[in-house]
Amino acid sequence: MKITVIGSGYVGLVSGACLADLGNDVLCLDVDPRKIELLNNGGVPIYEPGLDEVIKRNIAAGRLRFTTDVAASVAHGLVQMIAVGTPSEEDGSADLQYVIAAARSIARHMTEYKVIVDKSTVPVGTADKVRQAMQEELDQRSFDPQSSLLAPEFSMVSNPEFLKEGAAIDDFNRPDRIVIGAEDDAAVKIMKEMYAPFQRNHERLMVMDIRSAELTKYAANAMLATRISFMNELANLAERVGADIEHVRKGIGSDQRIGYSFLYAGCGYGGSCFPKDVRALQRTSAEYGLPLKVLEAVEQVNNAQKSVMLKKITKRFGSDLTGKHFALWGLAFKPGTDDMREASSRVLMEGLWARGATVTAFDPAAMKETRHIYGDRTDLCYADNAKNALQDADALIIVTEWKAFKSPDFGIIKARLKQPIIFDGRNLFEPADMKKQGFEYFGIGREG
């Protein structure tokens, strides 16, 4: 099948590359010529494990190409998949300008039937806006009613993505479900054909109306964010009452109605999805006069949780941290990515700097992004590995749960730190073990 993917960001690249890997003929469009040149030369502008291999393999096979030519991209695909960014507006609503612009571009150039697929994360009602924008463009074009050159028809589909950064290739290739929001049989048939390779073992396709599909994406992320904030609140309570949140997690997670996923206490969630989607869903609900009070609390708890580690540090060292130096392991909002959008590390570092402290930081993937955000400053040093970040630091702070941090050489940590103190924002280690090895250890919900 010929597929056009509009937008070569995270969702567009992963979706386009994986669809090409299934044997489809995929053309990816982006307005940034530097990005397209990089991609056509086999480079990848984002960090996602395994993505570069998939892209290179399919470029070599001739199944994946990249272009800035809008007319060529519209002519190419029966399926026109819109996967552009939907950043947050100041009021929390999703900015749909890029989605609408993509839709108008399709309508200006299409000459035959197309299936327009909203792959971007968009609020309920976006498909209606896309349909209206396309129809406006088609109405402005000249079509001779006496000839065969009539205005081409199109179908609208909502096909939200459920990709986790750091595991996106596996998520695409082994989906829990594939949600298709469509309102005509022709579009459903085409989408079923496109996703047929995923249907061989068991039914994964869920066909529903468009608005339900649009809401499903936001509801999924909001539910996961809620679990995280709930556990963080329980963790803070556990510290007050002398309980251990890890024991609590295992106790409730063993209930099959609850499960263990997203029940880990920590220093807050970040990234491009959860914060933005929680806010956008709240905004949508407010527009309909039905504020979502649970999600208001979820966001408030998460914002506060990002400062929990700083509070622990100032409690131990005092509010004035002038002359104190800290080693920081983990900058990305989660392991497996270089994404630092709304990362807890940023709140922590900026709080430390405001109190006079300096930081030496290391992350396996996000060093380049950190330099892009903060540049060169006297209170931030960039380490080339985790061990070198430790040298002469007053304490080690762990913010991201990279696998490489889970089994460190504690002898080296103790030898390089000025004093054996660890602030663990992801509960990687057991407090009892740390005490036996001579560390002062501060976790989340585990002080007792």
Catalytic residues: 273
Q: What are phi and psi of 359, to 5 degrees?
A: -135, 140
* Distance (Å, whole) CA 160 – CA 120: 7
Cβ contacts of 89 within 8 Å, gap of 6 or more: 95
The answer to whether the beta carbons of residues 389 and 383 sit under 8 Å apart is: yes
Burial of 60 per CB tally in 10 Å (0-12, 13-18, 19+): exposed
Q: Cα–Cα distance between 421 and 444 in angstroms, integer?
A: 15
Cβ within 8 Å of residue 324, ≥6 positions away: 317, 356, 357, 358, 394
Strands 395-398 and 64-67: unpaired
Residue 173 exposed, middle or buried by CB count within 10 Å (0-12, 13-18, 19+): middle
Exposure string of 136-164, with b = 16+ CB inside 10 Å and e = fewer, is ebbeeeeeeeeeeeeeeebbbbbbbbbbe
- Plot region of 47 (φ>0 → left; ψ -120 to 50 → alpha; else → beta): beta
Spatial distance between the Cα atoms of 55 and 63, rounded to a whole number of angstroms: 10
Can you count the helices (H) and strands (E) in the chain? 18, 14
Element (H, E) at 6: strand 2-6
Distance CA 132, CA 256 (A): 45
Partners of 396 in the β-ladder: 327, 422
- Please classify residue 66 by burial: count the beta carbons closer than 10 Å to its beta carbon, then call 0-12 exposed, 13-18 middle and 19+ buried: buried
| DSSP of 185-198 | HHHHHHHHHHTGGG
